[in-house]
Amino acid sequence: MTHIRPVVLMGARDDAHVSQLAQRLGQEGVVAHVVDTLTFPEETHLALTEQLDGIHVNGGPLKTPGAVYLRGYHAHPLAFGVDVRDEMDADWRTTLVAFREKSTLLRGLLGRWEAMGVPIYNPESTSWRMPKPVQLALLEQAGLPVPETLWTNDPSAVRRFAAGRRVAYKPVEGGGATLELGPGDLTDARLAALEAAPVTFQTLLPGEDIRVYVLDGEIIASVRILSHALDFRRNEERVEPFELPPKVARQCLQATRVLGLRWTGMDLKRDAEGTLRFLELNDSPMFLGFDARAGTDILGHLARGLARAARS
Ligand code: ADP
Ligand code: MG
Ligand code: MG
Protein backbone atom coordinates (compact mmCIF):
# COMPACT_ATOMS: atom_id res chain seq x y z
CA MET A 1 0.00 0.00 0.00
CA THR A 2 1.37 3.41 -0.86
CA HIS A 3 1.62 5.78 2.00
CA ILE A 4 1.05 9.46 1.22
CA ARG A 5 2.86 11.80 3.53
CA PRO A 6 2.35 15.57 3.63
CA VAL A 7 4.61 17.97 1.77
CA VAL A 8 5.95 20.93 3.74
CA LEU A 9 6.29 24.28 2.00
CA MET A 10 8.56 26.74 3.80
CA GLY A 11 8.00 30.34 2.82
CA ALA A 12 5.43 33.12 3.04
CA ARG A 13 1.87 31.81 2.90
CA ASP A 14 0.83 34.64 0.60
CA ASP A 15 3.81 34.25 -1.75
CA ALA A 16 2.09 33.10 -4.96
CA HIS A 17 4.80 30.45 -5.46
CA VAL A 18 3.84 28.90 -2.13
CA SER A 19 0.06 29.29 -2.36
CA GLN A 20 -0.20 28.04 -5.95
CA LEU A 21 2.08 25.09 -5.21
CA ALA A 22 -0.09 24.19 -2.18
CA GLN A 23 -3.16 24.31 -4.39
CA ARG A 24 -1.57 22.16 -7.13
CA LEU A 25 -0.44 19.62 -4.54
CA GLY A 26 -4.04 19.44 -3.35
CA GLN A 27 -5.09 18.57 -6.90
CA GLU A 28 -2.50 15.79 -6.79
CA GLY A 29 -4.18 14.46 -3.64
CA VAL A 30 -1.30 15.52 -1.40
CA VAL A 31 -1.69 17.58 1.79
CA ALA A 32 0.58 20.64 1.82
CA HIS A 33 1.56 22.15 5.17
CA VAL A 34 2.84 25.70 4.87
CA VAL A 35 5.36 26.65 7.53
CA ASP A 36 5.01 30.40 7.20
CA THR A 37 8.55 31.67 7.62
CA LEU A 38 7.50 35.29 7.03
CA THR A 39 5.09 35.48 9.97
CA PHE A 40 7.33 33.36 12.24
CA PRO A 41 7.83 34.14 15.10
CA GLU A 42 5.03 36.75 15.34
CA GLU A 43 2.31 34.28 14.35
CA THR A 44 3.38 30.74 13.46
CA HIS A 45 4.31 28.77 16.61
CA LEU A 46 7.16 26.28 16.27
CA ALA A 47 8.38 23.99 19.06
CA LEU A 48 11.36 21.64 18.63
CA THR A 49 12.39 19.15 21.29
CA GLU A 50 15.78 17.46 21.66
CA GLN A 51 14.48 14.54 19.60
CA LEU A 52 15.12 14.65 15.86
CA ASP A 53 11.42 14.25 15.04
CA GLY A 54 10.12 16.30 17.97
CA ILE A 55 8.63 19.02 15.78
CA HIS A 56 5.38 20.83 16.63
CA VAL A 57 3.70 23.48 14.51
CA ASN A 58 0.93 25.65 15.98
CA GLY A 59 0.53 23.29 18.92
CA GLY A 60 0.31 19.99 17.04
CA PRO A 61 2.99 17.44 16.15
CA LEU A 62 4.06 17.58 12.52
CA LYS A 63 4.31 14.20 10.83
CA THR A 64 7.61 13.61 9.06
CA PRO A 65 7.03 15.11 5.61
CA GLY A 66 7.41 13.19 2.36
CA ALA A 67 9.23 16.15 0.84
CA VAL A 68 10.06 19.75 1.70
CA TYR A 69 10.03 22.73 -0.64
CA LEU A 70 12.05 25.69 0.63
CA ARG A 71 10.99 28.98 -0.93
CA GLY A 72 12.76 31.13 1.65
CA TYR A 73 13.44 31.75 5.33
CA HIS A 74 12.66 35.47 5.37
CA ALA A 75 15.31 35.59 8.06
CA HIS A 76 17.22 38.74 7.10
CA PRO A 77 16.19 42.41 7.08
CA LEU A 78 17.06 42.52 3.36
CA ALA A 79 15.04 39.41 2.43
CA PHE A 80 12.29 39.97 -0.12
CA GLY A 81 8.96 40.66 1.61
CA VAL A 82 10.52 41.58 4.95
CA ASP A 83 9.88 45.15 6.11
CA VAL A 84 11.62 46.02 9.38
CA ARG A 85 12.70 49.57 8.67
CA ASP A 86 11.09 50.92 11.85
CA GLU A 87 12.48 48.12 14.03
CA MET A 88 15.97 48.63 12.53
CA ASP A 89 15.79 52.41 13.06
CA ALA A 90 14.65 51.93 16.66
CA ASP A 91 17.12 49.17 17.62
CA TRP A 92 19.17 47.62 14.80
CA ARG A 93 21.18 45.37 17.09
CA THR A 94 18.23 43.66 18.77
CA THR A 95 16.51 43.38 15.38
CA LEU A 96 19.55 41.67 13.83
CA VAL A 97 19.90 39.34 16.82
CA ALA A 98 16.21 38.36 16.49
CA PHE A 99 16.70 37.57 12.80
CA ARG A 100 19.78 35.50 13.58
CA GLU A 101 17.85 33.50 16.19
CA LYS A 102 15.02 32.91 13.73
CA SER A 103 17.41 31.86 10.99
CA THR A 104 19.27 29.43 13.23
CA LEU A 105 16.06 27.73 14.35
CA LEU A 106 14.67 27.42 10.79
CA ARG A 107 17.96 26.07 9.41
CA GLY A 108 18.04 23.64 12.30
CA LEU A 109 14.53 22.48 11.43
CA LEU A 110 15.45 21.89 7.80
CA GLY A 111 18.64 20.15 8.88
CA ARG A 112 16.60 17.69 10.97
CA TRP A 113 14.48 16.72 7.98
CA GLU A 114 17.62 16.30 5.92
CA ALA A 115 19.10 14.08 8.65
CA MET A 116 15.90 11.99 8.56
CA GLY A 117 16.35 11.43 4.83
CA VAL A 118 13.47 13.65 3.68
CA PRO A 119 14.06 14.93 0.13
CA ILE A 120 14.48 18.70 0.35
CA TYR A 121 14.21 21.11 -2.54
CA ASN A 122 16.93 22.32 -1.77
CA PRO A 123 18.79 21.05 1.29
CA GLU A 124 21.07 22.93 3.68
CA SER A 125 23.94 20.60 2.80
CA THR A 126 24.33 22.20 -0.61
CA SER A 127 24.06 25.82 0.53
CA TRP A 128 27.83 26.29 0.95
CA ARG A 129 28.21 25.72 -2.80
CA MET A 130 25.75 28.45 -3.73
CA PRO A 131 27.81 31.68 -3.32
CA LYS A 132 28.86 32.52 -6.86
CA PRO A 133 32.60 32.76 -6.09
CA VAL A 134 32.58 29.05 -5.21
CA GLN A 135 29.70 27.99 -7.48
CA LEU A 136 31.24 29.21 -10.74
CA ALA A 137 34.68 27.90 -9.77
CA LEU A 138 33.19 24.42 -9.18
CA LEU A 139 31.48 24.54 -12.59
CA GLU A 140 34.72 25.65 -14.26
CA GLN A 141 36.64 22.89 -12.53
CA ALA A 142 34.12 20.37 -13.88
CA GLY A 143 34.89 21.58 -17.41
CA LEU A 144 31.69 23.59 -17.87
CA PRO A 145 31.72 26.93 -19.74
CA VAL A 146 31.61 29.95 -17.42
CA PRO A 147 32.63 33.54 -18.21
CA GLU A 148 36.04 34.78 -17.12
CA THR A 149 35.27 36.39 -13.77
CA LEU A 150 36.97 38.33 -11.00
CA TRP A 151 35.44 38.93 -7.54
CA THR A 152 37.53 41.56 -5.86
CA ASN A 153 38.01 44.74 -3.88
CA ASP A 154 41.49 45.28 -5.40
CA PRO A 155 41.55 48.28 -7.80
CA SER A 156 44.71 47.19 -9.62
CA ALA A 157 43.28 43.71 -10.21
CA VAL A 158 40.20 45.35 -11.78
CA ARG A 159 42.35 47.48 -14.10
CA ARG A 160 44.33 44.43 -15.26
CA PHE A 161 41.13 42.42 -15.78
CA ALA A 162 39.43 45.19 -17.78
CA ALA A 163 42.35 45.98 -20.11
CA GLY A 164 41.37 45.63 -23.77
CA ARG A 165 37.91 44.07 -23.42
CA ARG A 166 34.29 44.74 -22.57
CA VAL A 167 33.50 43.95 -18.93
CA ALA A 168 30.22 43.70 -17.02
CA TYR A 169 30.06 44.36 -13.27
CA LYS A 170 27.42 43.30 -10.77
CA PRO A 171 26.94 42.46 -7.07
CA VAL A 172 28.61 39.35 -5.64
CA GLU A 173 25.30 38.22 -4.11
CA GLY A 174 23.17 39.05 -7.15
CA GLY A 175 19.80 40.69 -7.16
CA GLY A 176 21.20 44.05 -8.30
CA ALA A 177 21.72 45.57 -11.70
CA THR A 178 24.41 44.40 -14.12
CA LEU A 179 26.17 47.29 -15.85
CA GLU A 180 28.95 47.65 -18.41
CA LEU A 181 32.23 48.94 -17.00
CA GLY A 182 33.19 52.24 -18.63
CA PRO A 183 36.44 54.27 -18.64
CA GLY A 184 34.93 56.47 -15.89
CA ASP A 185 34.73 53.40 -13.64
CA LEU A 186 38.52 52.89 -13.68
CA THR A 187 39.45 56.17 -11.97
CA ASP A 188 40.99 56.09 -8.47
CA ALA A 189 37.95 57.88 -7.05
CA ARG A 190 35.47 55.40 -8.53
CA LEU A 191 37.49 52.30 -7.62
CA ALA A 192 37.76 53.57 -4.03
CA ALA A 193 34.15 52.36 -3.72
CA LEU A 194 35.67 48.85 -3.50
CA GLU A 195 36.74 49.74 0.05
CA ALA A 196 33.06 49.50 0.99
CA ALA A 197 32.34 46.14 -0.67
CA PRO A 198 33.78 43.72 -3.23
CA VAL A 199 32.22 43.52 -6.68
CA THR A 200 31.94 40.93 -9.49
CA PHE A 201 33.70 41.78 -12.78
CA GLN A 202 32.99 39.50 -15.72
CA THR A 203 33.67 39.30 -19.44
CA LEU A 204 30.68 40.93 -21.05
CA LEU A 205 28.56 38.34 -22.84
CA PRO A 206 26.71 40.10 -25.65
CA GLY A 207 24.42 37.23 -26.72
CA GLU A 208 21.03 35.85 -25.78
CA ASP A 209 19.77 35.02 -22.28
CA ILE A 210 18.57 31.46 -21.59
CA ARG A 211 16.82 30.23 -18.43
CA VAL A 212 16.72 26.47 -17.77
CA TYR A 213 14.83 24.63 -14.99
CA VAL A 214 15.98 21.23 -13.76
CA LEU A 215 14.01 19.05 -11.34
CA ASP A 216 15.17 15.65 -10.07
CA GLY A 217 17.77 15.28 -12.81
CA GLU A 218 15.47 16.27 -15.68
CA ILE A 219 15.13 19.45 -17.69
CA ILE A 220 11.53 20.58 -17.20
CA ALA A 221 11.65 23.93 -19.03
CA SER A 222 13.99 26.07 -21.06
CA VAL A 223 13.22 29.52 -22.36
CA ARG A 224 14.90 32.33 -24.23
CA ILE A 225 14.56 35.90 -22.98
CA LEU A 226 14.65 38.51 -25.70
CA SER A 227 15.72 41.94 -24.47
CA HIS A 228 17.82 44.82 -25.71
CA ALA A 229 19.06 45.70 -22.24
CA LEU A 230 22.14 44.18 -20.60
CA ASP A 231 20.27 43.01 -17.52
CA PHE A 232 17.11 41.23 -18.64
CA ARG A 233 15.23 41.25 -15.37
CA ARG A 234 13.79 44.74 -15.56
CA ASN A 235 13.70 44.81 -19.32
CA GLU A 236 11.95 41.69 -20.52
CA GLU A 237 10.59 42.06 -23.97
CA ARG A 238 9.62 38.53 -24.85
CA VAL A 239 10.04 35.09 -23.34
CA GLU A 240 9.65 32.06 -25.56
CA PRO A 241 10.27 28.32 -25.24
CA PHE A 242 13.76 27.42 -26.44
CA GLU A 243 14.94 23.93 -27.33
CA LEU A 244 18.40 23.31 -25.91
CA PRO A 245 21.06 21.73 -28.12
CA PRO A 246 21.73 18.23 -26.65
CA LYS A 247 25.24 19.21 -25.56
CA VAL A 248 23.96 22.22 -23.60
CA ALA A 249 21.19 20.09 -22.06
CA ARG A 250 23.84 17.64 -20.82
CA GLN A 251 25.89 20.53 -19.45
CA CYS A 252 22.86 21.87 -17.55
CA LEU A 253 22.26 18.48 -15.92
CA GLN A 254 25.94 18.17 -15.07
CA ALA A 255 26.02 21.66 -13.52
CA THR A 256 23.01 20.74 -11.37
CA ARG A 257 24.81 17.58 -10.19
CA VAL A 258 28.06 19.41 -9.48
CA LEU A 259 26.20 21.77 -7.12
CA GLY A 260 24.10 18.96 -5.61
CA LEU A 261 20.76 20.62 -6.39
CA ARG A 262 17.44 18.71 -6.61
CA TRP A 263 15.81 21.67 -8.27
CA THR A 264 17.15 24.83 -9.88
CA GLY A 265 16.59 27.63 -12.36
CA MET A 266 19.82 28.57 -14.09
CA ASP A 267 20.90 31.51 -16.20
CA LEU A 268 23.08 31.09 -19.28
CA LYS A 269 24.19 33.75 -21.74
CA ARG A 270 25.85 33.52 -25.14
CA ASP A 271 29.36 34.89 -25.56
CA ALA A 272 30.70 36.69 -28.63
CA GLU A 273 31.81 33.35 -30.17
CA GLY A 274 28.35 31.78 -29.72
CA THR A 275 29.03 29.57 -26.68
CA LEU A 276 26.37 29.51 -23.95
CA ARG A 277 28.10 30.13 -20.62
CA PHE A 278 26.72 29.60 -17.11
CA LEU A 279 26.04 32.78 -15.15
CA GLU A 280 24.47 31.07 -12.15
CA LEU A 281 22.26 28.34 -10.75
CA ASN A 282 19.59 29.58 -8.30
CA ASP A 283 18.59 27.26 -5.48
CA SER A 284 15.13 28.79 -5.05
CA PRO A 285 14.20 30.22 -8.42
CA MET A 286 10.96 32.04 -9.11
CA PHE A 287 9.00 30.40 -11.91
CA LEU A 288 5.43 31.70 -12.13
CA GLY A 289 6.43 34.63 -14.34
CA PHE A 290 8.04 32.27 -16.87
CA ASP A 291 4.99 29.97 -16.85
CA ALA A 292 2.74 32.96 -17.50
CA ARG A 293 4.80 34.41 -20.35
CA ALA A 294 6.34 31.38 -22.05
CA GLY A 295 3.52 28.87 -21.53
CA THR A 296 5.78 26.47 -19.63
CA ASP A 297 4.37 24.37 -16.75
CA ILE A 298 7.12 24.54 -14.16
CA LEU A 299 4.48 24.74 -11.39
CA GLY A 300 2.89 21.48 -12.54
CA HIS A 301 6.24 19.69 -12.83
CA LEU A 302 7.28 20.86 -9.36
CA ALA A 303 3.96 19.83 -7.80
CA ARG A 304 4.10 16.38 -9.43
CA GLY A 305 7.73 15.96 -8.41
CA LEU A 306 6.98 16.79 -4.77
CA ALA A 307 3.89 14.54 -4.85
CA ARG A 308 5.98 11.69 -6.29
CA ALA A 309 8.45 12.07 -3.44
CA ALA A 310 5.61 12.13 -0.90
CA ARG A 311 4.12 8.89 -2.26
CA SER A 312 7.28 6.83 -2.32
P1 ADP B 1 21.48 37.50 -10.41
O2 ADP B 1 21.79 36.55 -9.30
O3 ADP B 1 21.36 38.90 -9.93
O4 ADP B 1 20.31 37.06 -11.26
P5 ADP B 1 23.10 37.02 -12.84
O6 ADP B 1 24.52 36.62 -12.89
O7 ADP B 1 22.07 36.03 -13.29
O8 ADP B 1 22.79 37.50 -11.33
O9 ADP B 1 22.96 38.35 -13.67
C10 ADP B 1 21.71 38.97 -13.89
C11 ADP B 1 21.53 39.30 -15.37
O12 ADP B 1 22.47 40.30 -15.77
C13 ADP B 1 21.79 38.11 -16.30
O14 ADP B 1 20.68 37.28 -16.44
C15 ADP B 1 22.17 38.82 -17.60
O16 ADP B 1 21.01 39.29 -18.29
C17 ADP B 1 22.96 40.03 -17.07
N18 ADP B 1 24.39 39.67 -16.99
C19 ADP B 1 25.00 39.10 -15.93
N20 ADP B 1 26.30 38.86 -16.19
C21 ADP B 1 26.54 39.31 -17.43
C22 ADP B 1 27.69 39.34 -18.28
N23 ADP B 1 28.88 38.85 -17.88
N24 ADP B 1 27.55 39.87 -19.51
C25 ADP B 1 26.37 40.36 -19.93
N26 ADP B 1 25.25 40.36 -19.18
C27 ADP B 1 25.31 39.83 -17.95
MG1 MG C 1 20.62 34.81 -8.79
MG1 MG D 1 20.16 35.48 -12.51
Q: Which of 201, 227, 235, 267 to probe ligand 1 with, by most ligand atoms within 8 A of CB?
A: 267
pTM: 0.95
Residue 145 Cα, ligand 1 centroid: separation in angstroms? 15
- C-beta 158 within 6 A of ligand 1: no
Query: Which residues pair with residue 214 across a beta bridge?
Result: 219, 264
Residue 310 pLDDT more than 70? yes
pLDDT of residue 24: 98
Give the ligand with the smallest distance to the CA of 283: 2
Answer yes or no: is pLDDT of 231 > 70.
no
pLDDT surpasses 80 at 3:
no
Residues in Cβ contact with 166 at an 8 Å cutoff, skipping those fewer than 6 apart: 180, 181, 203, 204, 206
Summarised one tens digit per residue, pLDDT across range 98-124 is 999 999 999 999 999 999 999 999 999
Instruction: Give the β-pairing of 32-36 and 7-11.
Output: parallel
What is the interface pTM, i.e. ipTM, of the complex?
0.99
Ligand having the closest approach to the CA of 178: 1
Q: Is 213 in the pocket of ligand 1 (CB under 6 A)?
A: no
Neighbours of ion ligand 3 (CB under 5 A): 267
Q: Which atom of ligand 1 is nearest to the CA of 204?
A: 24
Chain segment 115-166, per-residue pLDDT in tens: 999 999 999 999 999 999 999 999 999 999 999 999 999 999 999 999 999 9
Vertex 106: Cα angle to 16 and 214 (nearest 5): 50
- Residue 229 — pLDDT band, cuts 50, 70, 90? low
d(CA 144, CA 223): 20
